Amino acid sequence: MDVFYRTFLPAAAEAGVAIPTVSRHMPVFRRCVEADDTAVLVARCLHPDRPLQGEFLLVLTERRLVVTQETRLLRRLRLHLNAELRHLGNVNWNPDVRSSAVELAATAIDGVRERFWIRVGHPKQLWHTDALLKRVFRPARPTPAAAVG
């Protein structure tokens, strides 16, 4: 089993994504994500600008953001977004305690502003999701070594 698969399954289980859903989306993710990339966050989400277009499944890895869309009626899958993190601009997110959700927004390399509404179960999960996003998009910078005199 490769790194992506080993890390994707626990992340999907943590997000409460059912195995049949994981199985349907996995071929799309496998085409987009390299085998040695680590899955950090898996989440079901909605596109606030297109609420009637169905559900989206978001996978955030150490190097990529991949979002698939499943239509409501026919349950057809399509790739919505596949971007390297370094190609995303103006990435921000807003945890909302009242609605137990995180709004994630980023500008893709083609200039399109993407917004996703990630619903989480409880406040503890909300802050965990916030911490994962910080880890990927705002990695801790090493402190400069003190000058030796």
65 vs 110: CA distance, rounded Å? 15
* Domains of the chain, earliest start first: 3-137 (2.30.29.30)
Q: What is the mean pLDDT of each run of 10 residues along the chain (149 residues)?
A: 91 91 92 95 87 82 94 82 95 92 94 92 89 88 55
Q: Are the beta carbons of 46 and 116 closer than 8 angstroms?
A: yes
Q: Are the beta carbons of 92 and 105 closer than 8 angstroms?
A: yes
Token duo for residue 114: 């993407």
Per-residue confidence (pLDDT) for residue 146, from 0 to 100:
52
Per-residue confidence (pLDDT) for residue 143, from 0 to 100:
57
